[in-house]
Amino acid sequence: MSMKKAAGYIRRSSSQQKDNDSFEIQKLAITEFAKRAGYVLADEFIFEDDAVSAYKKSAYQRRGLMLLKKTILENDFDAVIFYDFSRIDRKVYSFVSEFYYDVIQAKPHLKFYSTTKGTEWSPEDLDVKLFLILANAESMDKARRTIDSHHRNLKGENKKRPGACVPYGYDVRDKVLVPNQYASIILFIFYLASWGHSMKSIASLLNEVKIESPRNGVWRSSTVEHILKNPAYLGHLAWDMEHTSQMTFFYENVHEPIVPFALHKVVQMNNELKKKYHKLDTPFIFADLLYCKTCKQQLQHRNASTKKAGKSYTYMKYQCTHCQYELDTKQVNAYLLKDLEHKLQCATKFRHKEVIKDINATLKVFHSRLSQLKEKKERIEYNEQHAHNLDNADLLIAVENAKQQVLSEFQEVNLRILEMELLLRDSELNVFLERFERLTLNSLSNTENRLITLYFIQRVSINKQGRFSVEYSINPLKFLYQPRENSIG
């Protein structure tokens, strides 16, 4: 007589339970029940989900449970054993609709057992239905208490961080983030990104020098991206409540920042440049900036190859596709980089003053726009009252739409003003400008040189005698807002 085969499932809901005996207790109960009921239950067929909430994650989202389902459907089993139903589900419907019905349809002979019930388990039993409802209510109550606790922490006079994963580079002391020994790694990541290096290349470099990652594994571009987008590194507290999409909290300057505001803005500026000019890691450092003076056409760039004496040679060209005039890429790069380096060395102090002057001029424009928006808002509010008096629903909708548009622009202009006022601080502005002092451009990578050319060069015109006319931008921060057009040299 062949022995009956069983599979088992165990789960614990959070990493905080890892120090207790939850898994061991469940596993022992399942194996002893299998023996008493005459089933063979091998360790390899006990599937688990560790630190996975059955309230937050449906059955199909739990890897261990889905692996159990796949194994049952592909092999011969007579029973599934679990500790109690709270280990299987907390949502009332999830396990039954996403696991049980699929399995029973394919394997109608399969039996389900709960060790705490001691008899065969079925979702049709009255006591099971009652348990499902109570388990779901208990989980909802726990979730509500957790959210209420988060509210108290976030809305209190001293903003405190609710319990959650702590950002890499920080420790938590009295619910406040404090930089730790890995803060310098965060700063290094932002520094590399500020020089145009991609998230993939940053991750590769960190792996190459064996820097410990947030999860003690390999660095991935997604990990770097998460760090670069996290407002915590600027000292801000941002919080989104799960299952409550409208409950979003954002508070500025709650804890000590790791990253200067200007450095973060430079990374954002570089992202905008990448969207406009595509990748920065290219040997065509002056692509999209070169124009044929005769034809007024933008020069294209191309790779080409030829053979001489049986050997293959590759060369790169900038070319006007209208008149076919072409130049060697390496020669153009060398000449223009040398000229740019000279301009940077000569114009450092002058550039600093002009950037401040330019930011102040732009601030004046934004303040003027803010005044206009305030007047517009007052007129809309007057019309809103008039629409209420007329009891005109269509007019009220139109007024409300106009009001929302004005408020949205008002917030955007206010934000830009605050950012520019921050940039005017020497400690912030110098983070960006001082990097260009005493630069030797031929020692930089293609990515870094490409970025510098996009900062400082607006356009290069070339005639057929090989003479260059370069329009330099005086304000390298032009991509952060809309500065006036300036040129030097």
Residue pLDDT, tens place only, 104-138: 989 999 999 988 877 788 777 655 555 555 555 55
Question: Is-contact 362 482, C-beta < 8 A?
Answer: yes
Which one of 57-66, 266-275, 284-293 scores highest in mean pLDDT? 284-293
Note the pTM of the prediction, 2 decimals: 0.61
Query: 1 pLDDT exceeds 60?
Result: no
What pLDDT is stored for residue 246 in this prediction?
44
What pLDDT is stored for residue 155 in this prediction?
54
pLDDT digits (tens, 9 = 90+) for 286-336: 999 999 999 999 999 888 766 666 677 677 999 999 999 999 999 999 999
Query: 53 pLDDT exceeds 90?
Result: no
Mean pLDDT of 94-111: 87
Secondary structure of residue 308 in the 3-state scheme: strand
Mean pLDDT of 131-148: 52
Q: Which residues of 415-439 are buried (b: 16+ CB within 10 A; e: fewer)?
A: ebbebbeebeeeebbebbbeebeeb
Lowest mean pLDDT among 11-15, 127-131, 137-141, 407-411: 137-141
What pLDDT is stored for residue 85 in this prediction?
72
String of DSSP letters for 66-132: HHHHHHHHHS--SEEEES-GGGT-SSSSHHIIIIIHHHHHH-TT-EEEETTT-SEE-TTSHHHHHHH
Q: Looking at the structure, give the CATH architecture of the domain made up of residues 163-259.
A: Alpha-Beta Complex (3.90)
What pLDDT is stored for residue 251 in this prediction?
65
Tokens of 356: 């401040």
What pLDDT is stored for residue 361 in this prediction?
85
CA dihedral 139, 140, 146, 148 (to 10 degrees): -160
pLDDT class for 160, splitting at 50, 70, 90?
Answer: low
Tokens of 70: 């796949």
What pLDDT is stored for residue 343 in this prediction?
82
Query: 348 pLDDT exceeds 80?
Result: no
Q: What's the whole-number average pLDDT of the chain?
A: 80
| More confident position, 305 or 443 | 443
Q: Where are the domains of the chain?
A: 4-138, 163-259, 270-354+410-489
Which one of 22-26, 186-190, 391-395 scores highest in mean pLDDT? 186-190
| More confident position, 343 or 196 | 196
Query: 241 pLDDT exceeds 50?
Result: no
Query: 447 pLDDT exceeds 80?
Result: yes
Query: 31 pLDDT exceeds 80?
Result: yes
Q: Are strands 120-121 and 170-173 parallel, antiparallel or unpaired?
A: unpaired
Gyration radius of the chain's alpha carbons:
32
Query: 455 pLDDT exceeds 70?
Result: yes
Query: 245 pLDDT exceeds 80?
Result: no
How far apart CA 201 and CA 185 sit, in angstroms, is 15
What pLDDT is stored for residue 125 in this prediction?
66
Query: 191 pLDDT exceeds 60?
Result: yes
Secondary structure of residue 241 in the 3-state scheme: coil
| More confident position, 151 or 450 | 450
4-138 CATH: 3.40.50.1390
Report helix angle 393-423 to 348-390, nearest 10.
160
How far apart CA 305 and CA 326 sit, in angstroms, is 15
What pLDDT is stored for residue 247 in this prediction?
43
Query: 173 pLDDT exceeds 60?
Result: yes
| More confident position, 186 or 377 | 186
Task: Answer yes or no: same fold for 4-138 and 163-259.
Answer: no
Query: 486 pLDDT exceeds 50?
Result: no
CA of 370: how far to CAs of 68, 363, 405, 409, in Å?
A: 61, 10, 14, 9
Mean pLDDT of 65-77: 93
Mean pLDDT of 170-179: 86
Mean pLDDT of 231-240: 79
How far apart CA 269 and CA 22 sit, in angstroms, is 50
